[in-house]
Amino acid sequence: AQRVTQPEKLLSVFKGAPVELKCNYSYSGSPELFWYVQYSRQRLQLLLRHISRESIKGFTADLNKGETSFHLKKPFAQEEDSAMYYCALSPLNTDKLIFGTGTRLQVFP
């Protein structure tokens, strides 16, 4: 079955601390993986995708096929990073997204 698991509902850190939001997936193949973010009172929006291998707002995510993981990392958290983060998987050759339950990141000053 295709599934995305985000084991942490809430992650709290202090400003300047490193952040890692965990995402594991189950899929028999090579999916496309994404991180979407929802800031307070804003819409859900794409943060980054694994195929572009880019850093957005200091966040990076590496696809580990062996561990079937796509963890989101940032070396130094900022208060404005506080938001809800969703990991999502798109099966090959489809436009559908399968979402995890999300992790709320709280960054304290």
Partner 1 sequence: EADIYQTPRYLVIGTGKKITLECSQTMGHDKMYWYQQDPGMELHLIHYSYGVNSTEKGDLSSESTVSRIRTEHFPLTLESARPSHTSQYLCASSDGSINEQFFGPGTRLTVL
**Closer residue to partner 1, CB minimum distance, 11 or 97:** 97
Quick check: 90 binds partner 1 (CB under 8 A)?
Answer: yes
Quick check: 31 binds partner 1 (CB under 8 A)?
Answer: no
Could you give the 3-state DSSP secondary structure of residue 50?
helix
- Chosen residue from 19, 81, 83, 102 binding partner 1 by CB under 8 A: 102
| Amino acid present at 107 | V
Quick check: 11 binds partner 1 (CB under 8 A)?
Answer: no
Q: Under 8 Å CB-to-CB from 102, ≥6 apart: which residues?
A: 6, 9, 84, 85, 86
Residue with tokens 């994404």: 34
Would you tell me which residues interact with partner 1 (CB under 8 A)? 4, 9, 32, 43-46, 49, 86, 90, 95-102
